[in-house]
Each structure stands twice: as C-alpha cells, then as structure tokens.
A and B are shown apart, each in its own frame.
Chain A
Amino acid sequence: MTKPRTLYQKIWDDHVVHQRDDGTALIWIDRHLIHEVTTPQAFEALRLAGRAVRRPDLTLAVPDHNVPTNHRFEPIADPESAAQVAALAANCADFGIEHIEINAAAQGIVHVIGPEQGFTLPGVTLVCGDSHTATHGAFGALAFGIGTSEVEHVFATQTLLLKQSASMEVRVTGELGFGVTPKDVALAICGQIGTGGGTGHVIEYTGPVIEAMSMEGRMTLCNMAIEAGARAGLVAPDAKTYAYVAGRPRAPKGADMDAALAYWATLKTDPGARYDRVVIIDGSAIAPLVSWGTSPEDVVAITGNVPAPADFADPSKAAAAARALDYMGLVPGTAMADVEVQNIFIGSCTNSRIEDLRAAAAVVAGRKVAANVKQALVVPGSGLVKAQAEAEGLDRIFIDAGFDWRAPGCSMCLGMNPDKVPAGERCASTSNRNFVGRQGPGARTHLLSPAMAAAAAVTGRLTDVRDLMR
C-alpha cells in the first residue's frame, strides 16, 4: 500500500519531469496564462536567444492590468500602456499564442477568464506572471505566480525548476454567519496567520465552510492565499467544480471529459496524510471584516475600533502600526463604522465575478450612492461577467444608484491604469492589497467584501452590511 498523500503531493508527483539530487525538480507546466505587464522582457529574451515557445497550445494571453475601463474603443491615451498592450498582441502573433484582444467579448482579468474559458482545470499545474494566480487553486489546480525570468523559462521549456513547498492545512470549521462572505474568511486568515504566515507553504483549504462555498467564493479565498504569504492555495475538486468546468469553451469534451472526471476524482488528500502545519479557524466566529492599516493582516471586525500601536506587544509591530495609522490618517479608538469613504471599488481578480456583483447589487437595490462618495466603480471581471450581469439587470441597479458601470480590467486595484484613488482619500475596495500607494500615490485602502463595499457606497462610510440586510 502506498503512503497517504496530500492533494498537493499528488499534483506535484504527477508533474515531475526530472528529480535532481539537490532536491530541486523539473516540473511540467500544463497551463500558462500571460498578460501584458510581465511578458515583454521574456519575449525579448526568447528572441535574443533564438528560442521558440515550446507549447503555444498550452498558453493563453489577455491584456488586463493597463487596460482603461472606459472609452474602450478609443486608442489607449497613455503611450506606455498602449505600447505594452500592443507589444502583447505583436508578441503573441509572432510566437503563435492565442490572444484574447482588448475589445474581444471574452476579454477580462486573467484570473477571471482562465476559469471562465475552461482553461483552468483540476489537477493541472498553472502559472502566470502574477501573484494572484493562486486564484486558480479553487479548482484543485496547483497554481502560482512567477516572475518574468520564469515566464521565459516556461515559454522555452514548458517546465520550471522548483523545490517543493511545505504543506499547510487551513481548516475552516462551523458555518459562516449572516452577512459573512468568502472575502471575510480570506481576510480572517490573513489576520490570524499574518502576511508572512504561509511563506514557504502551499495551503489546502478544508472543512465545512469550504465545502459549502461556491466556486466563486473558493476563487476569492484562494486568490488571497498569496496575501497570507503562501505560494498557492488549493481546494479539492468536487461536484461543484466539475459542474463549473463542464461545457466551458476550452474544457474537455466527450470521452476526454469522462477520462478527466475519473482522474479528478482521485484529487483529494488521502485519509492519514500529514500536513506540515495545520491552522484551524472557527468560521462561525468570523464577522464582516475591514482593513485599517497598510497590510492585509491589519483587519478588524466592522463592529470594532481602530487599534492603537500600544495594542501590539511586539515593538516592531507597534512601530509598523504607528506608521500605518499615520499613512491611513486614522485615530486609535475610532469606531470603524465612523470612517467616511470617498471612493468605492467593486472589482479585481478577488471580487469581480457574477456572484460578487449579485451580492453588491442586492445591497444597492433601491438605494443611492451617498453624497460624500466622489467615485463609485463597478468593474466586472470579464466581458462575459459583464454580459451576464446586464442580462440579469444588475447594471441598471448600479447605474440607477449612481455607480459607474465599467468595462473589464484590473482597474483601481493597482494604480497602473487611469482608475486611481486620489492622494489622501479613502477607498472601500473589494481588491486584495492595501499596501502604501497601491491604488495610487497617497491612496488609503480599506479592504472588504462586495456586500460591505456596497453598504459603504450607500452610507458614505464603512458600514456593517448586516444592518442594511435585516
């Protein structure tokens, strides 16, 4: 009888091309997603070395980071952004890679379109030059972000030289309370283990809360595995996973699908398999959360207050809190629900899928964006999400309330395209990072769920969405 293995170990074992004596292994890559920001230098290096892309049929490209979310049929105004987007199209044409171009119906954020297209599948190794590649782990794919040199390595060889990570189980027990969402679970995990807590590990999320979660919710959760420092997050595939994948444009069909389903059924951690570390989180105790600081671990319940540096026993944590509070312009002891916001962002690879938009629209319906809110954006994760939302009438709900209904892209998540938060202003944001300057120089980010962002939009301050849902 073979030794019980974790899901991570099984996927790893199935992809070892060559094991080196020093512990490094050459790992086969089944899926490579690419976008415009982290690939130009890799293509340039291929050209200089006279190398080809080994498996263009396993590679899919889409521009997202630089893409403006309005005036889409006009040329991109920023010449550098325009050049990057054009370079992606030209490089894909030169190297024979399929490219979903900027105004194609299926264009969107790379981590939204992968699953949507059936490109992301259970049990595959999937990489992209973007840390939020962890998202695809929701399908039981070993998915992780890589740098540009690694992008080049995958282009040339369809492999990566890797050392196996340690394994960590994050078990979320109980049942989520009213108004508590997968985003709150993701933030709770960052708060509990810290942004370095998962370093050197691949997380497998388990437990009843994960089993009950939709595919969209699992994507939100795995998306933020990187925010807890983990290279990747995984959820074992189940009937929900198969149902999501079936019928997608690039998913297996017919006999291939039958064979795939038989293989996918083996993708679970064996009873008795040991994780290197186990973290248990009581899902029933999680409240809707908001971030107060400049790291995703700086979270507090919406019913709580802004902490004081003195609340942190570790002197370096206290110093970091003091710096964060200064940047955020927050006074210790202030109720989080008293913090006014001027900007709302519903979007990003964390929370721009149809379920996220439905949750936000349910709160917004029949209400108006508060007068003190200067900018309220809803940015669907893809053209297909946008079309679906419009078919359901969600766009009317947002537009009638005073939101801007935009075209798909990374938008206000990262301060790289025209959507930015002005210096000194606050943003209630469904994105993943509240780093200094992330949403624009001097921008102050409060991370929260789509429902909580919607609540903040209609009241003009951080708000317990449960009060609006009762």
Chain B
Amino acid sequence: MQAFTTLTGIAVPFGAENVDTDVIIPARFLKTVTRKGLGKGAFAVLREDPDNIFDAPRHRQAPILIAGDNFGCGSSREHAPWALADLGFKVVIAPSFADIFSGNAFKNGMLLVALPQDQIDRLMEVAATDDITIDLENQVVTTPFQDRFSFEIDPFRKSCLIGGVDEIGLTEAQGAAIASFEDRLAADKPWIGGAAKRAA
C-alpha cells in the first residue's frame, strides 16, 4: 500500500448520487488477470460523451473526485478502485460510501473522505476553478478561500494509510493467535474442517 499524507490538486466536481460499481467500471472490462490498465474502462459509459467531465482539459488526470451520496454501491469488484486509481484519482470525497467499496479503496491506499452535503456543495463550487487540499494527518479538507472542513476516519485505516502498511504482514504477526484459534476450532467444531474435500 502506498503511503498517503497530504495532497493538493484539481478535483472533478462530479456530484452524482448512488454511483454504482457498474458505472465506475462495467463488467465487460473485468475480464483481466492483472490490476493494471483499468482506467480505459473507468466511467466508460459516461465517457462515451465527448463533453464528459472526466476528459475535460481541466480535469483530466485530476487526483480528487467529488461525488454524491452512497458512492460505490453494488458489486464487490476491486476493479472499481483500480480503475479510479488508473484514471489518476487518489481521493474521493462524498457524503457517504458503500461498505465493500470503502474497504477496497482503503486496501489500495485510496483515501475516502465523508463530508456533509453542504460542504460537498461548497467544494463542488471551488473545484470548478481552484485546487483542494486534503490533509490526512490533521483530518481536514481546505480550499484557498479559508474553507476548512474536518472529517472523521477510522484510526486503524488512518494509520495504515499514513504508514503504507502491508495488512497481510500485520495479520501474519498474529500467527500464534490464529494457530490457537484453529486448534480450538478443530476441537469444538470438528465439522468445519476438511469441507471442500468431503465430497460425496
């Protein structure tokens, strides 16, 4: 995971609500065995419009996306954050995010910032002309116009984002606890183990 601290850059004032993962990346782009190059499928339907906001000269390769409520609803495809990252996004700001998308984005070092709708509206306005700054350490979004919006973030996710932690490595450090859980499980619930091989 790449470390994240602060970022100042252009934001795309997208604003749509209930943006589902099929909109972020349609299933026909999921037939890949790598994580790379998914930007070509990102918002594919919206980007068929030559005047779409993502390919506008001001917003192309912008690192910040501003969206509406319930961003990332629908499927569990991690291709959604991979596609957003490949398009250049490092931060998404919205009033709320769907659960699975939220986990997937975090696992890829992408910061999701939840802010109330009135603050989103203000950032949409600023994004038309000016940069936005996200300071993860201090949990604040600022603009060149003295706007200062604090946001909440899970402390575990924050420390992982700042430190660029390898989560599997972190879990492997709990190897003894996992092994003792496994032993208890085999004793207490013997029907759990060997499931796949217990074929008729």
- Is B190 an interface residue, CB under 8 A from the partner? yes
Please, could you name 26 A-B residue pairs with CB atoms under 8 Å apart, sorted by A? A26-B177, A26-B178, A40-B34, A57-B195, A59-B196, A83-B31, A98-B197, A119-B196, A144-B100, A147-B81, A147-B107, A149-B104, A149-B108, A158-B178, A229-B73, A263-B189, A295-B20, A316-B17, A416-B28, A433-B22, A435-B20, A436-B45, A437-B22, A437-B45, A438-B22, A441-B26
Query: In chain A between 195 and 252, which residues have their CB closer than 8 angstroms to a CB of chain B?
Result: 195-196, 199-200, 226, 229, 231, 249-250, 252
Complex: A239 Cα to B110 Cα, angstroms: 45
B residues in contact with A129, CB < 8 Å: 76, 78
Shortest Cβ distance from residue B19 to the other chain A in the assembled complex, whole angstroms:
10
Complex: A18 Cα to B170 Cα, angstroms: 12
- Is A78 an interface residue, CB under 8 A from the partner? yes
B interface residues, tally (CB under 8 Å): 61
Contact call A84/B196, Cβ cutoff below 8 A: no
Contact call B200/A195, Cβ cutoff below 8 A: no
Contact call B191/A257, Cβ cutoff below 8 A: yes
Contact call A249/B28, Cβ cutoff below 8 A: no
Given A20-B156, A146-B76, A147-B103, A78–B168 Cβ distance below 8 Å? no
- Is B68 an interface residue, CB under 8 A from the partner? yes
- Is B47 an interface residue, CB under 8 A from the partner? no
Complex: A121 Cα to B189 Cα, angstroms: 12
Shortest Cβ distance from residue B44 to the other chain A in the assembled complex, whole angstroms:
8
Interface string of B67-92 (1 = CB under 8 A from A): 01110011111100100000000000
Residues of A within 8 A of B (CB): 17-18, 20, 22-24, 26, 28, 30-31, 37-38, 40-41, 44, 49, 51, 56-60, 65-66, 78, 80-81, 83-84, 87, 97-98, 119, 121, 124, 129-131, 133, 144-150, 152-153, 156-159, 161, 163, 165, 195-196, 199-200, 226, 229, 231, 249-250, 252, 256-257, 259-260, 263, 295, 316, 320, 414-416, 433, 435-438, 441
A residues in contact with B26, CB < 8 Å: 415, 437, 441
- Is B155 an interface residue, CB under 8 A from the partner? yes
Residues of B within 8 A of A (CB): 17-18, 20, 22-23, 26-28, 30-35, 45, 68-70, 73-78, 81, 96-100, 103-104, 107-108, 154-156, 159, 167-168, 170-172, 174, 177-178, 181-182, 185, 189-200
Contact call B100/A147, Cβ cutoff below 8 A: yes
Complex: A264 Cα to B28 Cα, angstroms: 41
Shortest Cβ distance from residue A89 to the other chain B in the assembled complex, whole angstroms:
13
A residues in contact with B194, CB < 8 Å: 57
A residues in contact with B98, CB < 8 Å: 196, 199, 229
A residues in contact with B75, CB < 8 Å: 130-131, 145
Complex: A145 Cα to B72 Cα, angstroms: 14
Contact call B189/A196, Cβ cutoff below 8 A: no
Contact call A98/B199, Cβ cutoff below 8 A: yes
B residues in contact with A252, CB < 8 Å: 191
Contact call B32/A80, Cβ cutoff below 8 A: yes
Contact call A229/B99, Cβ cutoff below 8 A: yes
A residues in contact with B159, CB < 8 Å: 22
Complex: A17 Cα to B185 Cα, angstroms: 11
B residues in contact with A416, CB < 8 Å: 27-28, 30-31
Question: Which of A28, A149, A435 lies in contact with B74, CB distance below 8 A?
Answer: A435
Question: Which of B23, B27, B104, B190 lies in contact with A415, CB distance below 8 A?
Answer: B27
Complex: A44 Cα to B69 Cα, angstroms: 34
A residues in contact with B73, CB < 8 Å: 195-196, 229
Complex: A415 Cα to B33 Cα, angstroms: 18
Given contacts A22-B154, A130-B76, A133-B76, 15 further A-B contacts (CB under 8 A): A26-B174, A28-B181, A37-B31, A49-B168, A119-B196, A147-B107, A159-B178, A196-B73, A199-B99, A231-B99, A249-B198, A250-B198, A257-B191, A414-B27, A416-B30
Contact call B32/A249, Cβ cutoff below 8 A: no
B residues in contact with A256, CB < 8 Å: 190-191
B residues in contact with A146, CB < 8 Å: 76, 100, 103
Given A41-B35, A161-B171, A320-B17, A249–B107 Cβ distance below 8 Å? no
A residues in contact with B32, CB < 8 Å: 40, 80, 84
Contact call B200/A249, Cβ cutoff below 8 A: yes
The chain B residue sitting closest to A196, CB to CB, is B70
Contact call B156/A24, Cβ cutoff below 8 A: yes
Contact call A58/B193, Cβ cutoff below 8 A: yes
Contact call A22/B155, Cβ cutoff below 8 A: yes
B residues in contact with A161, CB < 8 Å: 156, 167, 170-171
Complex: A159 Cα to B176 Cα, angstroms: 13
Contact call A316/B77, Cβ cutoff below 8 A: no
Complex: A453 Cα to B48 Cα, angstroms: 32
B residues in contact with A415, CB < 8 Å: 26-28
Q: Which of A23, A131, A153 has the most CB of B within 10 A?
A: A131
Complex: A252 Cα to B194 Cα, angstroms: 10
A residues in contact with B189, CB < 8 Å: 259-260, 263
A residues in contact with B17, CB < 8 Å: 316, 320
